[in-house]
Amino acid sequence: MFKPRCTDIARIEAILAVLPAEESVTFDVNRAWQPATAIQVLNSVVARDWIEQPCETLDQCAQVAARVPQPIMLDECMHSFQDHLDAWRLGAAQGVKVKPNRLGGLTRARQISDFGVSVGWQMHIEDVGGTALADTAAIHLAAATPAANRLASWLCHYHLAVDPMAGQGARNKGGFATPPSAPGLGVIPDSDGLGAPVCSYA
């Protein structure tokens, strides 16, 4: 266990050594650490930037958050409004990832982002994956969130070979994405690009 811990410390310090002073970074641990390892690593480095999902469970992340100087961002352990309420009650994080598709859609995601605003969280508002349709929906939600609580967004559609709405919707332009102003999501998808529907509802 000693070697992986030292490797993680070395990686963090190597990134910080070349990071411009005006830049910030989120270290996404992606549930890889046990609480003891997280506490040892994060108290051994000078990093003061965000640490994302250091451990598997919400309770484990809460243990870590109480014992390290860095702000904690929760992601994979957050699936419901109750999870977010529990995280706040436990003092487990200073921020969360808000991902509409994982939470059950835009309505539930908006409920959670509003809660995040009310408790002072900073949020990454983005989706778990998908086309520019998913990205555009998430960017609409991000744009409706106060700037003080809106930390970042990530566009996932760049990882796909097929774009069912080429040139439309939220796109990365100089590091920023803005929602379209047309009605609804503001896009007209290419039906051929989407392919045959999985099911239809009357």
Confidence band (pLDDT; 50, 70, 90) for 3?
low
Which among 88, 74, 73, 151 is positioned nearest to 118, based on CA atoms? 88
Q: Where are the domains of the chain?
A: 24-93, 97-181
What are the Cα distances from residue 112, in Å, to 18, 47, 184, 186, 187?
36, 28, 21, 23, 25
DSSP string for 31-58: T---HHHHHHHHTTS---SEEE--SSSH
Q: Quote the pLDDT of residue 84.
A: 99
Q: Token match 């641990």: residue?
A: 29
Q: Quote the pLDDT of residue 129.
A: 84
145-160 pLDDT, tens digit per residue, is 999 999 999 888 877 7
Question: What phi, psi does 189 have (nearest 5°)?
Answer: -70, 155
Q: What is the pTM of this model?
A: 0.89
26-49 pLDDT, tens digit per residue, is 999 999 999 999 999 999 998 889
Number of helices (H), then strands (E), belonging to the chain: the values are: 8, 6
Top CATH class of 97-181 equals alpha beta
